[in-house]
């Protein structure tokens, strides 16, 4: 295809990635589908943000005169009424009217004393009549509060509640500015306590936020926030999308958590699940109006067989209203700073990524006949458009991250040049690599070339969030990196009063090296799952029938870092030092590193990034004196981070006060100069020019 034939709207893409040139027409067509929706919203709704304000009219709302309006989309129903505690669940009053667009609505006048007819936190449902005469009760789709009945009711289905507190939370702190680089702490409120119980928003605010701040992370990614009836689903089987999980506390408690985080300079991202929904009927969206296609695809297309869940129809107007207003609701009402979109691979492809590998061939993604769900792709573009427009209108920066394992091209390039618009994608191949190495390879079999390639292999100008392990690697059936390294002795030899064994020593040293090289080489942002920073000793398993409903493994033992006699403190202090050093010297969110050495025999990897020199000796036994390392910039180098420091559980083999490395003006490993360093076994070093340190 010649330059003249390239559609104007995607010309910039070709400059970034010339391999996209054969697919420019298809890329333009895919953008056009989203742009057509934008045109429709501009014409009929006052624009995308106004369309996303639909949460302010859909569902239950208190008006200034204390009347209550309720609007619900249920096109298949022939009649509807609002029922609840407020009218003793009677079905013959508060009858709703239906519009030509399939929406039922009603306005409830206040009581004679002027108070709202529905009391705060009282139960409500919509009672629908279906064409065949069947009567069904549903939880309002836009409900802001859903709770589980007391155990003695013997009813697991959640109940909708009208949330209208008199003492609404008022935010005190502004959203923090976007930091130079994201260092993300992935967390689950319910497991964030050492006690075997469900933790609360308030406990997280008081006990965990100070730890996150102390560790040097600047962003929190909260999981399992949207209401899910099944706790063991890890929050990925959503039943009420506009309700925050009541098992952790109230919406006001979550607002306090986010506001407090903002006061500490921490941004908060929401793990957003728009890839699928719970199959629950009684307390979910499934079969809401008696059909399986109210918000979802009908038939097999609307079911995810592996996840046993329902799949949204992203080409439907009211589905877009529901999902886009769901995003804006969390931005407006809770002041989240962005979203990590779950299951993007499932959304992008008609096969949902099931049984399909991705070789990286562009035809797999961009051929007009490739199995891409173009309506879902358009929705993802619209979601990023919304976040971008919201950022501009509110003078802030809303961040979006895609969980995509497929490597879809242009996913993290701006919408204005023809990309999908995400800021980052998760580098999902990295944790897989580390787990495979620890499971299947001896230390002297580690392939330095494969490690450096996996860490540095990403699409040009598309930013990645690097991580060693996330919640996925912590789940039962797998092991955390610390557990793979030390599980045989973590319960017996983690005390400083016991002898340091070879297993524990190896585990501590490799754990630090894996984290440092992943952060420095693997992406433009970094993520850690809570507890893994200090080598949490156990997997994660939620209470379920299979484990006797036990909470023993559904917790994070933060008490371990408070015990000065345990070696967990060394890993904690290293993680803190790594983040603090990065914050000072900024190697994340810079141009990719230049890897100058991958030596299989010596087990060394050397690279430069942001004018810093990173040296990793993975050899299990060999240390090297006067090891020659190529560097591009001349000058005197000093150590700014050393995994072998005693305070990080190392052996203190390097005298850093006397360690100055002077460049020799001679090419080495394709670099202009070289230095000679002492690099002990299982040690990672970061060097900086002396002029940058002072």
Catalytic residues: 342, 403
User: Which pair of tokens denotes residue 158?
Assistant: 């959640």
Residues 6+ away with beta carbon under 8 Å from 367: 23, 26
Residue 546 and residue 476 in contact, taking contact as beta carbons nearer than 8 Å: no
Chain-centre distance for alpha carbon 591? 23
Q: Is 576 helix (H, G, I), strand (E, B) or coil?
A: helix
Tell how strand 159-162 and strand 122-129 pair up. antiparallel
465, 479, 565, 452: which is closest to 217 by C-alpha? Answer: 465
Other C-beta atoms closer than 10 Å to the C-beta of 370 total: 15
526, 345, 517, 338: which is closest to 423 by C-alpha? Answer: 338
Alpha-carbon distances, residue 205 vs 201, 259, 370, 484, 604 (angstroms) = 6, 10, 46, 31, 42
> Which regions of 489-632 does DSSP assign to beta strands (E)?
525-529, 594-599, 604-609, 612-617, 624-631
CA 559, 560, 564, 570 dihedral sign is negative
Other C-beta atoms closer than 10 Å to the C-beta of 359 total: 7
Q: Is 79 helix (H, G, I), strand (E, B) or coil?
A: strand
Burial status of residue 414 (CB atoms within 10 A of its CB: 0-12, 13-18, 19 or more) = middle
Residue 28 and residue 11 in contact, taking contact as beta carbons nearer than 8 Å: no
Residues 6+ away with beta carbon under 8 Å from 424: 182, 399, 400, 401, 402, 412, 463, 464, 465, 523, 524, 525
Give the gyration radius of the chain's Cα atoms.
27
Q: DSSP states of 614-657 as a string?
A: EEEE--SS--EEEEEEEESS-SEEEEEEETT-GGGT----S-GG
Residue indicated by tokens 């087990």: 603
Q: Is 227 helix (H, G, I), strand (E, B) or coil?
A: strand
What distance in Å separates the CA atoms of residue 655 and residue 638, rounded to the nearest whole number?
11
What distance in Å separates the CA atoms of residue 448 and residue 159, rounded to the nearest whole number?
55
Q: Phi, psi (5° rounding) for residue 529?
A: -90, 135
Helix (H) or strand (E) holding 126: strand 122-129
What distance in Å separates the CA atoms of residue 365 and residue 444, rounded to the nearest whole number?
38
Nearest 5°: the CA angle 592, 597, 599 is 135
What distance in Å separates the CA atoms of residue 671 and residue 665, rounded to the nearest whole number?
10
Helix (H) or strand (E) holding 267: strand 267-272
Residue 208 and residue 295 in contact, taking contact as beta carbons nearer than 8 Å: no
Helix (H) or strand (E) holding 183: strand 183-188
What distance in Å separates the CA atoms of residue 197 and residue 560, rounded to the nearest whole number?
17
What distance in Å separates the CA atoms of residue 254 and residue 199, rounded to the nearest whole number?
12
Residue 68 and residue 114 in contact, taking contact as beta carbons nearer than 8 Å: no
Residue 559 and residue 565 in contact, taking contact as beta carbons nearer than 8 Å: no
Residue 571 and residue 508 in contact, taking contact as beta carbons nearer than 8 Å: yes
Residues 6+ away with beta carbon under 8 Å from 89: 83
């Amino acid at each position: 295809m010649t330059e003249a034939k390239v559609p104007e709207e995607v010309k910039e893409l070709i400059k970034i990635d010339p391999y996209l040139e054969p697919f420019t027409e298809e890329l333009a067509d895919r953008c056009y589908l989203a742009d057509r929706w934008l045109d429709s919203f501009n014409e009929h709704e006052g624009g995308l943000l106004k369309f996303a304000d639909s949460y302010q009219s859909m569902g239950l709302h208190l008006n200034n005169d204390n009347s209550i309006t309720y609007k619900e989309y249920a096109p298949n129903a022939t009649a509807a009424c609002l029922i609840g505690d407020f009218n003793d669940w009677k079905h013959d009053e508060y009858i709703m009217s239906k519009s030509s667009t399939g929406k039922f609505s009603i306005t409830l006048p206040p009581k004679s004393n002027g108070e709202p007819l529905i009391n705060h936190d009282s139960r409500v449902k919509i009672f629908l009549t279906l064409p065949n005469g069947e009567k069904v009760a549903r939880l309002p789709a836009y409900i802001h509060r859903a709770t589980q009945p007391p155990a003695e009711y013997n009813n697991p289905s959640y109940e909708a509640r009208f949330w209208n507190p008199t003492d609404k939370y008022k935010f005190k702190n502004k959203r923090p500015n976007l930091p130079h680089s994201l260092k993300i702490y992935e967390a689950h409120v319910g497991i964030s306590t050492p006690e075997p119980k469900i933790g609360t928003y308030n406990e997280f605010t008081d006990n965990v936020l100070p730890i996150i701040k102390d560790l040097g992370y600047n962003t929190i990614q909260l999981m399992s926030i949207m209401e899910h009836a099944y706790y063991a689903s890890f929050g990925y089987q959503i039943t009420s999308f506009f309700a925050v999980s009541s098992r952790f506390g109230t919406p006001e408690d979550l607002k306090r958590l986010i506001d407090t985080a903002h006061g500490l300079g921490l941004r908060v991202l929401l793990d957003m699940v728009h890839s699928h929904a719970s199959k629950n009927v009684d307390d979910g969206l499934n079969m809401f109006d008696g059909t399986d296609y109210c918000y979802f695809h009908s038939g097999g297309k609307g079911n995810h067989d592996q996840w046993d869940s329902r799949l949204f129809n992203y080409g439907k107007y009211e589905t877009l209203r529901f999902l886009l207003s769901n995003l804006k609701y969390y931005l407006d009402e809770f002041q989240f700073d962005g979203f990590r979109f779950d299951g993007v691979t499932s959304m992008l492809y008609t096969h949902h990524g099931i049984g399909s590998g991705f070789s990286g061939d562009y035809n797999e993604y961009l051929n007009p006949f490739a199995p891409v769900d173009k309506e879902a792709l358009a929705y993802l573009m619209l979601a990023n458009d919304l976040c971008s427009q919201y950022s501009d209108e509110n003078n802030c920066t809303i961040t979006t991250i895609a969980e995509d394992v497929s490597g879809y091209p242009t996913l993290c390039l701006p919408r204005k040049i023809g990309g999908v618009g995400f800021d980052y994608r998760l580098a999902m191949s990295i944790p897989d690599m580390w787990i495979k190495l620890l499971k299947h390879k001896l230390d002297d079999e580690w392939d330095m070339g494969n490690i450096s390639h996996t860490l540095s292999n990403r699409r040009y100008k598309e930013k990645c969030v690097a991580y060693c392990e996330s919640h996925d690697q912590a789940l039962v059936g797998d092991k955390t990196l610390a557990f793979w390294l030390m599980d045989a002795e973590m319960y017996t030899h983690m005390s400083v009063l016991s002898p340091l064994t070879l297993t524990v020593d190896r585990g501590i040293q490799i754990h630090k090296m894996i984290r440092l090289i992943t952060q420095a080489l693997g992406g433009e942002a970094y993520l850690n799952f809570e507890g893994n920073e200090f080598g949490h000793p156990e997997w994660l398993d939620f209470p379920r029938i299979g484990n006797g409903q036990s909470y023993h493994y559904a917790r994070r033992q933060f008490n371990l870092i408070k015990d000065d006699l345990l070696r967990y403190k060394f890993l904690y202090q290293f993680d803190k030092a790594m983040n603090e050093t990065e914050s000072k010297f900024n190697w994340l969110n810079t141009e990719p590193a230049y890897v100058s050495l991958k030596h299989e025999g010596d087990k060394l990897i050397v690279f430069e990034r942001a004018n810093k020199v990173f040296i990793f000796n993975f050899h299990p036994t060999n240390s090297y004196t006067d090891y020659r390392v190529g560097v591009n910039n001349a000058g005197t180098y000093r150590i700014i981070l050393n995994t072998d420091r005693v305070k990080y559980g190392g052996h203190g083999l390097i005298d850093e006060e006397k360690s100055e490395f002077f460049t020799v003006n001679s090419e080495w490993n394709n670099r202009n100069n070289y230095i000679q360093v002492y690099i002990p076994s299982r040690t990672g070093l970061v060097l900086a020019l002396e002029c940058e340190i002072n």
